[in-house]
Amino acid sequence: MKLNTLKPAFGSVKTRKRIGRGPGSGLGGTSTRGHKGAKARSGYKKKIGFEGGQMPLQRRLPKFGFKNINRVEYKAVNLDAIQALVSANNLEKVGLADFVAAGLAKPKDLVKVLGNGELTSKVDVEANAFSKSAEAAITAAGGNATKV
């Protein structure tokens, strides 16, 4: 075996198709594009949703609904989660930083306290918003609900 006799394995190297190089190549004429039509032309680009001239699905279906640009999205935290947090860490005051540390919210989230579950401990809660039932339950337990 010599370096000048080395060849790639049979079938591992394919020759490139040279399209549009005259009739002798067998790939001249229409250059494998068929006859006429948009796909045969240069610059053809398939439009998303195009159905060959038929009315596309996104135009056949009616429009409905809207997105309210003024909507404020809150992360919900229930009273039972606050009670579990207070019991585990022996807290008297629960704020946004405590919710983030417990994994109940992310740092940029707005937190709303909802009234699911029971609150047995006296605790001061700081949040961005409260439901009426949550606020009533917190004050009934002897704590304060403070909006931040």
Q: In what order do the strands lie in the sheet with 124-127?
A: 93-94, 124-127, 145-147
Q: Is the entire prediction scored with pTM above 0.85?
A: no
Q: What would the pLDDT profile of 79-123 be if each residue is shown by its tens digit?
A: 999 999 999 999 999 999 999 999 999 999 999 999 999 999 999
Per-residue pLDDT, 52: 87
pLDDT, tens digit (0-9, with 9 covering 90-100), for 2-33: 999 999 999 999 999 999 999 999 999 999 99
Q: How far apart are CA 38 and CA 45, in angstroms?
A: 9
CATH of 74-147, one of 3.40.190.10, 3.30.465.10, 3.100.10.10, 3.40.50.880: 3.100.10.10
Domain map (residue ranges) of the chain: 74-147
